Amino acid sequence: MNAPRTARERARAEITAEITASARRRLGEDGVGGLSLRSVARELGMASSAVYRYFASRDELLTALLVESYTEIGLAAENADDPARAPEERWLAVWRAVREWSLANRHEYALLFGTPVPGYIAPHITAEVAGRMPLTLARITADAKRAGAVRPLTGPACDPSAISPEMLVLLEDMTFSAEETARLVLAWNRLVAILGYELHGHLVGITADDALFFDYTARAEGARVGLAFD
């Protein structure tokens, strides 16, 4: 059982949450590249030196925002997945949940999947939480495979050397072959890409109903990994 937090620990947690909430608002005003501890301090009416006691640098604040946002989008995916449902229903529900989160958190989406911040190198902790959303899709496919509910893969095969050894090993532990891994990687990339197009207005004049086209993309990618989408 965890020991109760002291008043000082609670106060620190509250102020830290206020700082990250302000930083997320500043993303919308200033963009990722314009985010600074000084702008956050001004919005909160705090001295810059006080903010530095919570985050030693802009990069440390960026890391906190990345972890928070990756965690949220990962939770959205995980909470949408109901193992009692058919694999195809689970797959589509997760895609839709990720889209819903992204539409509600456009600036955070841009932070996660937009233009990299010059000079910023994300620490390993961000990679750990970044995997939650795609691994949810991988688990759905793995469950379908174990249940004998996947179809034979058709279409062009991927050269295994195109996929990183680390990714191949990670998904091999979930019983995926190199080709199955490549198709899951493609599905994750298509999910991120179609959302980026929608959020940045690149589908204007191309699609008449973004939600319908998104669902089509989800079904097409699900079929590519062997799920029974017709």
DSSP string, 45-112: T--HHHHHTT-SSHHHHHHHHHHHHHHHHHHHHHHH--TTS-HHHHHHHHHHHHHHHHHH-HHHHHHH
Long-range pairs, 151-156, Cβ under 8 A, ≥24? 151/223, 151/226, 151/227, 151/228, 152/226, 153/179, 153/180, 153/183, 153/224, 153/225, 153/226, 155/224
Q: Given this model, what pLDDT does residue 10 score?
A: 79
Q: Which of these, 23, 98, 96, lies nearest to 54 by C-alpha position? A: 23
Displacement of CA 221 from its chain's centroid (Å):
17
- Under CATH, which architecture does the 1-56 domain have? Orthogonal Bundle (1.10)
pTM of the shown model:
0.92
Q: Inter-axis angle of helices 210-224 and 87-104, to 10 degrees?
A: 140
Residues 6 or more apart in contact with residue 186 via CB below 8 angstroms = 158, 221, 224
How many residues are given for the chain?
230
Domain boundaries, the chain: 1-56, 57-225
Per-residue pLDDT of the chain (230 residues; tens, 9 = 90+): 556 667 677 778 899 999 999 999 998 888 888 888 999 999 999 888 889 899 999 999 999 999 999 999 999 999 999 999 999 999 999 999 999 999 999 999 999 999 888 889 999 999 989 999 999 999 999 999 999 999 999 999 999 999 999 898 888 888 899 999 999 999 999 999 999 999 999 999 999 999 999 999 999 999 999 999 98
For tokens 């050269």, the residue is 159
| Residue 163 CB coordination number (10 Å) | 18
The secondary element (H helix, E strand) that includes residue 185 is helix 178-199
Q: In the prediction, which pLDDT does 134 show?
A: 96
Identify the pLDDT of residue 173.
Answer: 83
What span, in angstroms and rounded, lies between the C-alpha atoms of 108 and 47? 25
Please name the CATH architecture into which domain 57-225 falls. Answer: Orthogonal Bundle (1.10)
Q: What gap in Å lies between CA 152 and CA 36, rounded to an integer?
A: 51
Q: For the CA atoms of 168, 174, 175, 177, what is the dihedral angle to 10 degrees?
A: -30
Q: Report yes or no: 71 and 93 within 8 Å, Cβ to Cβ.
A: no
